[in-house]
């Protein structure tokens, strides 16, 4: 019987180590339930959160929700049936694949969602690991409700997220970036003297301040969020000059002209009124 060389023994030991690592890794995955996804969505859109641990039907499916790490979990779906005592039950629905559908996303929807499968007579036996979904909502708002050329406007772009810590730490660990781009898709930077761009790591927010020009009507600025250099979602802000301000400006410039015309018409009317009785009286005397 041929004896193995030292080199062959070392090779066998390496193979065993690799198999052990693979097996141990699979055990850790099963125990800790490492099964999660990050979903980025813009406010006002619809979203579908996948439940990739679903069984053959959805009668065992439960969806829970946490907005903050220390907040109590809210049960949205139990046994495949939507709970009606939740604030947003009208916007929720369960897909045929047990996914959770949310219509008209708002900043109230961001947070941590957990899909579980419970079986047994009392539904007290969990099957498989949790399917975890972190929902992040991007929203853009303006400091002005009525805008026109010459006014300063600030646009706020905020990413609402279930971070469980500081936004700055989470952004670094997940390589998240928030930035503004123009209509051509060119990233706006602080070096551009026309724009003042500020970011707050505490609240995952980036602001864009500028003074509007006449040519800015219908101009678009877009806020984008990327994860590991891939665009996840974006919100576009379109500049629309306020019709109210335009009407007011027109009225201000036109007011003197209107008043002058009213004075002229009034004087002419007075002259007609004063002449008309005289003609009648003269005609009467002649007759």
CATH topology match: 33-137 vs 143-238:
yes
Statement: residue 286 has pLDDT above 90: no
In tens, the pLDDT along 49-88 reads 999 888 878 999 999 999 887 788 999 999 999 988 777 8
CATH code for 143-238?
2.60.40.10
Supply the CATH classification number for the domain 33-137. Answer: 2.60.40.10
**Predicted confidence (pLDDT) per residue in 82-92, tens digit:** 988 777 889 99
Residue 167's pLDDT is what?
A: 77
Residue 113 reports pLDDT greater than 90: yes
Task: State how far the Cα of 238 lies from the Cα of 222, in Å rounded to an integer.
Answer: 9
Question: What is the residue extent of each domain of the chain?
Answer: 33-137, 143-238
């Amino acid at each position: 019987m041929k004896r193995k060389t030292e080199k062959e023994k070392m090779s066998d030991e390496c193979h065993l180590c690799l198999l052990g690592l693979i097996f141990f890794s699979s055990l850790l995955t099963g125990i800790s339930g490492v099964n999660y996804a990050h979903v980025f969505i813009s406010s006002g859109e619809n979203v579908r959160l996948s439940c990739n641990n679903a069984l053959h039907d959805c009668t065992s499916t439960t969806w829970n929700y946490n907005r903050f790490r220390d907040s109590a979990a809210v049960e949205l779906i139990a046994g495949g049936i939507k709970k009606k005592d939740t604030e947003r039950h009208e916007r929720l629905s369960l897909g045929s694949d047990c996914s959770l559908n949310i219509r008209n996303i708002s900043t109230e929807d961001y947070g941590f969602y957990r899909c579980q499968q419970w079986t047994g007579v009392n539904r007290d036996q969990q099957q498989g690991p949790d399917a975890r979904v972190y929902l992040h909502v991007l929203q853009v708002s303006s400091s002005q409700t009525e805008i026109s050329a010459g006014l300063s406007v600030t646009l706020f772009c905020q990413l609402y997220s279930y971070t469980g810590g500081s936004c700055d730490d989470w952004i670094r660990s997940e390589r998240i970036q928030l930035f503004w781009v123009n209509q051509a898709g060119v990233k706006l930077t602080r070096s551009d003297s026309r724009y003042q761009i500020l970011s707050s790591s505490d609240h995952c927010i980036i602001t864009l301040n500028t003074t509007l020009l006449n040519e800015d009507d219908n101009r678009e600025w877009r806020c984008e969020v990327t994860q590991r250099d891939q665009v996840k979602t974006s919100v576009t802000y379109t500049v629309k000059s306020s019709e109210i301000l335009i009407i007011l400006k027109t009225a201000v410039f036109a007011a003197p002209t209107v008043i002058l015309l009213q004075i002229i018409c009034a004087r002419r009317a007075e002259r007609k009124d004063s002449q008309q009785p005289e003609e009648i009286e003269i005609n009467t005397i002649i007759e």
